[in-house]
Amino acid sequence: MILDPLSLFQASLEGNDSGTAILMIDSQTKSYEILLQNSIYTELAKEFDSRFFLKNKIKTNDFNTEIIYKVDGKILETSFGHFDYTKGIPGKQYTKFFVKDITIKQKQEEEIAWRLRFELGVASSIQILIQKPSIRESLPQALYQLLYFTEMDSIFFLKHMETTETDIENFEIWVNERKSTDFPLLPTKFQNLNWNREGINRWIHKLKNGKLIYLQKEKALPKEKWYFEESKVETLLWIPVHFENQFLGIMGFQKHTPNFVIHHENLLIFQTVSRWMGLFVQRDKDLTELNRYKSSLESLVLERTLDLSRTKEELERAYKAKTEFLAHVSHELRTPLNSIIGFSKLIQLPEADETGKEYLNYIYSGGTRLLKMINEILHLMKIESGQIELKIAEFKPEEICRQALELIKPQADAKRMEIRFYPPIQSKSLVSDSGKIQQILLNLLSNAIKYANHSFVEFHCEWNDSNLLFKVKDFGPGIPKEDQNRIFHSFTRLYDDGQIEGTGLGLSISQGLAEKLGGKIELTSLVGEGSTFTLIIPENRK
């Protein structure tokens, strides 16, 4: 049996998942005939004016795919597929015509596109929040950006404020934006609202407990309806903003056109945004707090600094007054003292007047001691007030050491003490003030002779890199640890029993001079073993 090709077609058409018809077209007359059609086609052809549609297409020779958007929301996709039919009538064209209901597919695609848009909006608004330091500045912009990318029509953010009133909730409206001026903004009465009296206390209760409100106008309680009417809202989505169980505010999204549904996935994204918001609001709160601390700390520091500088000025004034007083008194004392010493030398007493001579000697030695002390005080004051002048020159340190030894010799001889000198091995020169160094060395050597009862004192002069060290080492009583710093302060004497002459000024003058030369004096000492005073002087005092 030979099968009719059209009946074969018919069988294959029924297997199609879209409406399909086989058309025979007369290209001359621009007319067509439906040879075959499957049952889906029969159904879908009723959905639109298929005859008129096909006639038009054939007339204009337009066989492109076309999408028909119907008023009831249905979307149909039409397309053509020409084929050669050898068994057909010559001169006629054969084509398949497909009609497909793509409403669901299209909706899904739109859905995905919206989702992508939404996510983009979320990302860009969060970026704005991250970049700007102050949330009060960035929030309106960030939330408007978010609104723009969602299907919602208006957005607000109510920042919760602490209040002592029990039935009033205190909020600040931080954001109140809408896509079109047709939609009213959130009424300002929400700043201080008695939610109970307004019939919407279950809303605030839910929100404060961390639950969101997703409510359509028709599902609202009768006492809640006023809000939808006053705000022309059809659907609302209010989400609480929390941070670590602390209620920070409400983020509200609203739709002003009817029949709108927010899908579950989108609800989750809105909730994620509110979590982010919690983070940013908290960050802002912390920063404000921190800034408050910072500025109060700054003013405290400023106050203290002022106090300190006032105290410093007072001290400086007092110190200057003391210095001036001492300088004045010392000068006034020096003149009569010089006369006393001078005259005590000139007075000629008879040979036999032993007592008179003894008294005269007291006057002379006491006067000289007093004059020495006054001179030392003046000298110390000069160092402290920076009036000392340095005479910097190049010299061989060994020469200075030998001169000092020469000068101290009588004192050492008087005590029958030997000074063992160890000159530097290198013959390097020193650039410094030789006179001042010698003054320091004499003081150190004289102390070693005065305070150490031993047959000899060692005097070393040696280079240590770019420093020259002068070491005066004695084997006397030594200095207890707790006194080692103290003896460098003026008028400090350790064993002042009147046996050993001194003013307690020598070491403080020496240390002051050493510092002027860019160096210092260091002390190492052990009680019962002796002391080593080391004068350290840099090779070149620039």
Q: Which residues bind ligand ADP (CB under 6 A)?
A: 443, 447-448, 451-452, 474, 476-477, 479, 487, 492-495, 502-507, 531
Burial 373-389 (b: 16+ CB within 10 A, else e): bbebbebbbbbeeeebe
* Token pair belonging to 10: 């018919």
**Residue placing its CB nearer to ligand ADP in the complex, 150 or 490:** 490
N-to-C CA span, the chain: 126
* Minimum distance from residue 350 beta carbon to ligand ADP (Å): 37
* Minimum distance from residue 437 beta carbon to ligand ADP (Å): 16
**What are the φ/ψ torsions at residue 473 (nearest 5 degrees)?**
-115, 120
**Residue placing its CB nearer to ligand ADP in the complex, 265 or 483:** 483
* Minimum distance from residue 452 beta carbon to ligand ADP (Å): 6
**Residue placing its CB nearer to ligand ADP in the complex, 274 or 443:** 443
CA distances to 82, 322, 342, 374, 398 from 332, in Å: 131, 15, 16, 10, 40
Cα separation, 352 vs 520, in Å, equals 53
∠ CA 197-200-205, nearest 5°, is 110
**Residue placing its CB nearer to ligand ADP in the complex, 240 or 476:** 476
Q: What is the dihedral of CA 43, 45, 47, 52, to 10 degrees?
A: -170
* Minimum distance from residue 498 beta carbon to ligand ADP (Å): 12
**Residue placing its CB nearer to ligand ADP in the complex, 434 or 531:** 531
**Residue placing its CB nearer to ligand ADP in the complex, 150 or 532:** 532
**Residue placing its CB nearer to ligand ADP in the complex, 277 or 487:** 487
Single-letter amino acid code for the residue at 487: I
* Minimum distance from residue 507 beta carbon to ligand ADP (Å): 3
Cα separation, 38 vs 17, in Å, equals 10
Pair type for strands 418-422 and 456-464: parallel
* Minimum distance from residue 474 beta carbon to ligand ADP (Å): 5
* Minimum distance from residue 300 beta carbon to ligand ADP (Å): 43
* Minimum distance from residue 537 beta carbon to ligand ADP (Å): 19
Q: Which residues, 6+ apart, have CB-to-CB distance to 78 below 8 Å?
A: 53, 65, 66, 67, 68, 97, 98, 99, 100
SS (H, E, C) 399-413: HHHHHHHHHHHHHHH
The total of other beta-carbon atoms located within 10 Å of residue 171's CB is: 21
**Residue placing its CB nearer to ligand ADP in the complex, 66 or 515:** 515
* Minimum distance from residue 360 beta carbon to ligand ADP (Å): 26
**Residue placing its CB nearer to ligand ADP in the complex, 284 or 474:** 474
> DSSP letter at 452?
-
**Residue placing its CB nearer to ligand ADP in the complex, 298 or 496:** 496
Cα separation, 113 vs 400, in Å, equals 95
> DSSP letter at 4?
P
The per-residue DSSP string of 335-359 comes to HHHHHHHHHHHH----TT-HHHHHH
**Residue placing its CB nearer to ligand ADP in the complex, 456 or 463:** 456
* Token pair belonging to 204: 């605030």
**Residue placing its CB nearer to ligand ADP in the complex, 3 or 414:** 414
How many residues does this entry show for the chain? 542
| Three-class DSSP category at 538 | strand
CB 536 within 8 A of CB 523: no
* Minimum distance from residue 503 beta carbon to ligand ADP (Å): 5
Cα separation, 478 vs 500, in Å, equals 16
* Minimum distance from residue 337 beta carbon to ligand ADP (Å): 19
CB 442 within 8 A of CB 400: no
**Residue placing its CB nearer to ligand ADP in the complex, 186 or 487:** 487
Q: Which residues, 6+ apart, have CB-to-CB distance to 283 below 8 Å?
A: 135
* Minimum distance from residue 488 beta carbon to ligand ADP (Å): 7
CA-based diameter of the chain, in Å? 181
- As a whole number of Å, the CA-based R_g of the chain is 54
* Minimum distance from residue 384 beta carbon to ligand ADP (Å): 15
